[in-house]
Structure 1
Amino acid sequence: MSETSAEDRIWTVPNLLSFLRLLGVPVFLWLVLGPKADGWAIALLMVAGFTDWLDGKIARAWNQTSRLGRLIDPAADKLYVFATLLGLLLREVIPWWLVAIILGREIFVGCFFPVLRKYGYKALPVHFLGKAAMANLMYAFPLLFLASHTGAWYADIARIIGWAFAIWGTGLYWWAGLLYVVQVRQLVTAAKKE
């Protein structure tokens, strides 16, 4: 199989895992906002986090990386972050300013997509710092859900650890966004010299 056709594959195990994660987003929101089944919602977040790690491992180990996978894997991550932020905000577990800071980063980075496209680039590869930020946020959210169970023996511990992950993850998220802008600037500068 040529490398070009390998990149165009759709039916791979990693893509299937990413697609299943995408299907889990509306289920997660329903669990959080409908029956408020936090245990099931947290379990779904944990499964999503595990399959996010697993699809990357499988893609590299079995040489199943693909163009589609590079699109739907980060899309699933972002949708889980947004769905979780929405659920936590509507349940009044987190303040609006945290949501504004995280969404502000997305808007800031999104402003550079037209510049990338103008110079013939579709997207930049996900940076390690962005993955670390996402991992921190994915740890923070379930803990913050647990912290919302006022009176439970684990609530205070979950609140402290959850906020530590949330603050660290948000900081890394912005740092990764700034590195992304530096990469865009380097690409544009190189393209102008050609």
Structure 2
Amino acid sequence: MAEEELEKEALKLKPTNRIVTWPNLVSLFRLISIPFIAVLISHDYLLWGLVLLAFSALTDALDGFLARKLNQITKLGQILDPIADRLLIFCSILALGTSGFIPWWFLLVVGARDLMLGVVIIILAQFGYGPLPVHFVGKTATAMIMADIPLLMISGLGTAPIFGLLATAGTALAIWGVVMYWIAGIIYVRQAIGLVRGTLREQRAAH
């Protein structure tokens, strides 16, 4: 019970209503870069797309660091950061699928998981909770997928045997990343169910 209470308190953060902060600007840059990355990949400008993708991916860690370091945790930032991460992955995979580097089932599986968690976040918001804290399985899965995207892009830069090996390694990494992505999604759903049930019990007890 004590652990559940601590988890609830951790989720019920009190971010500010500020809009213009350094972390939010970093997240905004990541959002703006997404369509450019997708266009570059889909038009076979893989090298430039890879450079922009790598730079954009680095900002994922930067905005969180700045938010904690500068004490600039905001409500807008809590929304922008996960949206930017999901869109960066989804649009990059969409562009790679359009270019024929990955099968379409990969996009569908990743998209279905993110749609499920989007519904979970909306439900939690109705009970006064913010986004669930990131689980290490989720961090690992996201890192694997983000590493897989440039790997597949590099494999399309040439026809030498080494590029074929990179494509095979990228496909294997994609499969493992998707499996862990869904495991993390199930963990988040179970956490959300526990929080909602706990809140409903408290409401019934109060009445």
Q: Which of 13, 17, 21 is matched with 2:30 structurally?
A: 21
Alignment correspondent of 2:201: 193
Give the Cα–Cα distance (whole angstroms) in 1 for the partners of residues 63 and 119 of structure 2. Answer: 29
- For 2:26 and 2:114, how far apart are their aligned partners in 1? 24
* Structure 1 residue 162: Cα displacement: 1.9
Displacement after TM superposition at 1:54 (Å): 1.4
**CA–CA distance in structure 2, aligned partners of residues 13 and 107 of structure 1:** 28
Aligned to 2:149: 141
Q: Residues 59 and 133 from structure 1, CA distance in 2 versus in 1: closer, same or farther, beyond 3 angstroms?
A: same
User: Map of 1:103-114 to 2, 5 A cutoff?
Assistant: 103-114=111-122
1:127 and 1:9 map into 2 onto residues whose CA distance is 26
Structure 1 segment 60-71 matched on structure 2, within 5 A: 60-71=68-79
Q: Which TM-score applies when normalising by structure 1?
A: 0.87
Pick from 143, 152, 155 the counterpart of residue 160 of structure 2.
152
Segment of structure 1 superposing worse, 66-75 or 128-137: 128-137
Cα 1:117–1:56 change in 2 (3 A) is closer
> Could you say which residue in structure 2 is the equivalent of 1:164?
172
Per-residue Cα deviation, 1:100-145 (whole angstroms, up to 9, x for no partner): 2112212333343453244343532333322221111110001111
Matches within 5 A, 1:45-194: 45-152=53-160, 154-194=162-202
Residue 160 of structure 1 and its aligned partner are, at CA, apart by: 3.4
Q: Give the aligned partner of residue 5 of structure 2.
A: none
Where 1:112 maps in the other structure, the secondary structure is helix
Segment of structure 1 superposing worse, 176-185 or 25-34: 25-34
In the superposition, the TM-score normalised over structure 2's length comes to 0.82
What is the percent sequence identity of the aligned residues? 38
**Aligned counterpart for 2:16 among listed residues 7, 19, 28:** 7
> Cα gap change, 1:114/1:47 in structure 2, threshold over 3 Å: closer, same or farther?
closer
Matched letter for residue 116 of structure 1:
L
The answer to whether structure 1 residue 32 and structure 2 residue 41 are counterparts is: yes
Change (3 A) 1:51 1:185: same
Q: Distance in 2 between matches of 1:107 and 1:20?
A: 23
Counterpart of 1:28, as a letter, is: I
Unpaired runs of at least 5, structure 2: 1-12, 203-207
SS at 2:132 equivalent = coil
**Kept after mapping to 2: 8 A contact 1:146/1:154:** no
Distance of 2:169 and 2:88 partners within structure 1: 20
